[in-house]
Amino acid sequence: MESFFTRFKNVLVLVAILLAQTIGLAVQVRRPVESGAPDSSKVTLLRYWAVSTVTPIERFVHAIGYNLRHGWSNYIDLRHTRQENRDLQEQIARLRLEQAEFAEDAMQGHRLQALLNFQQHYVSSTVAAQVIGTSGNDLSRVIYIDKGAKDGLKPDDAVITPDGIVGKLRDVFPHTSQVLLINDQTSGAGVLLASTRVRAILRGSTTGRIIINNLTPDSRIKPGEEVLTSGGDQVYPRGLPVGTIESVDPDLDHQPYTLIKLRSAANLNQLEEVLVITSTQPTLPAPAQKDLAVASLTADAQAAAKQLAAQQAAEAAEAAARSAAQIVADRLPSLHDPDHPDAPATPGATSAIPGGVVPKPLPTNHPDRYSPGSTLPAADLKPGAANPVPATTSSPSSSPSVPADPQTTTPEKPRKPKPPTSETPSPTSTPQQPQAF
């Protein structure tokens, strides 16, 4: 028996080590169930030992490189700084104007969200961190940052750059954290195609590409379309840039789905500094509100200036048109208001009546019921009643009126209306007779 172990010592050691590691793998892949989730406590302990061994060296080397680089750029290589400052000032001014253009839309959006009771999550606090190392394995796309649980970080916090999302925190140690990049094969995120508003799930691949492979063919999805986070994964806040679509091809392995390849907005291969989103809030953070207020004021000022310019232009145009109309009015005969002979008769003159002064007809010598002004207003007429004798303009004193004593009047049978005579209008024929029922 002893000779057996002695003879096969090498193989037995190999088998024992492989068996132990296989059991260890089996324990690990049993949990966690969720892809990309942090490890169990025992595995985290193993990683913690390894990370504690390696990261101090990484941190030291990174600090040397960082200080050398920043010492050079901050104190020695300051050429073109003034020009760069001027360029940045101009850029700020341009961005302010652009921001003002979007301010109104933003405020309208917030109002609508409030009306619909829509839950929006805004980034309220972030922690800036330096990238100190990688996994060193191209099958595992993770990076290490120099901030950890002591800085308020926790697993599943989103990691971003100003360009776009980077990944999420996987394992958080006291002074270091492991960031799972979005192009890792175990990574995923809920995304939204910006123009088509199609929702999808983004995944990493073994080759380090970012892909979407859960969409059926859609002719609206084209290369170049921007992709944003949808917020549905509860990790990345909504609306952060993810990247742009690079190609749309049929997925040969999973028909009938399409394979959409993305180019990430953030440069995942050369990350220097990242921001970890530590908390979100349903309202805009105070600095953003301040920016929005400034932008709103700028937008108002811009609108007022534009309105003033438009008003001045309109006045100038009106003055020009008036002078032209004056010339025409001097040369052509025009209508005159007989009631106001002194009123200006120019067509361009302002009048309360739309279309200008309507000429009144001359008074008739023998008015009848067809003469203008001989009919009572429609409000005074009563259906079924006889036509009253209208008052004429020539004899206003003889106009029909309500009898002084309505008790003495005798109701008459309805009869055909006589042609009204202006001389002796019958009081009984007045439609204003009160009817007693």
Partner 1 sequence: MATRSYTSRRELEQHSFPPAVAILVPLAAIVLQALLPRPFPRLAILDLPLIVTVFFAVSRRNPVAGTLTGAAIGLLQDALTNQPIGVNGMAKSVIGYIAASIGIQVDVENLTTRVLINFGFFLINSFLLYLINRHLLGLTNFHIQWLHELIRAAINTVVALPIFFLLDNTKQRE
Q: Is 21 in the site for partner 1 (CB under 8 A)?
A: yes
Partner residues linked to 229 by β-bridges: 191
> Rg for the chain (alpha carbons), in Å?
44
Q: Does residue 28 touch partner 1 according to CB under 8 A?
A: yes
Q: Give the Å distances, CA to CA, from 326 to 122, 313, 316, 357.
A: 62, 20, 15, 17
Nearer to partner 1, 11 or 378 (CB): 11
Residue 53 touching partner 1 (CB under 8 A): yes
| Window 245-284: residues binding partner 1 (CB under 8 A) | 269-271
Per-residue tokens: 347: 């067509």
State which of residues 91, 113, 125, 140 lies at the interface with partner 1 (CB under 8 A): 140
**Distance in Å, CB of 60 to partner 1, minimum:** 10
Q: Which two tokens stand for residue 15?
A: 């088998």
Q: Report residue 191 as tokens.
A: 């995304």
Question: For residues 244 and 222, is the Cβ–Cβ distance under 8 A?
Answer: no
Candidate segments 105-113, 180-188, 363-371, 415-423, binder of partner 1 by CB under 8 A: 180-188
3-state secondary structure of 120: coil
14 is a contact residue toward partner 1 (CB under 8 A): yes
Taking the complex as a whole, how short is the minimal distance between the CB of residue 101 and partner 1, in angstroms? Answer: 38
CA-based torsion, 269, 154, 211, 193: positive or negative: negative
The reply on whether position 73 binds partner 1 by CB under 8 A is: no
User: Nearest 5°: phi and psi at 56?
Assistant: -60, -35
- Residue from 121, 129, 136, 336 that binds partner 1 (CB under 8 A)? 136
The CB-side HSE value for 68 (13 A sphere, CA atoms) comes to: 6
Contact 106, 292 (CB under 8 A): yes
Least distance (Å) between residue 34 CB and partner 1? 13
The least distance separating partner 1 from the CB of residue 137, rounded to whole angstroms, comes to 5
Q: Can you give the binding site for partner 1, defined by CB under 8 A?
A: 9-10, 13-14, 17-18, 21-22, 24-25, 28-29, 36, 43, 46-47, 49-51, 53-54, 57-58, 61-62, 65, 131, 133-140, 142-144, 170, 178, 180, 184-186, 205-207, 269-271
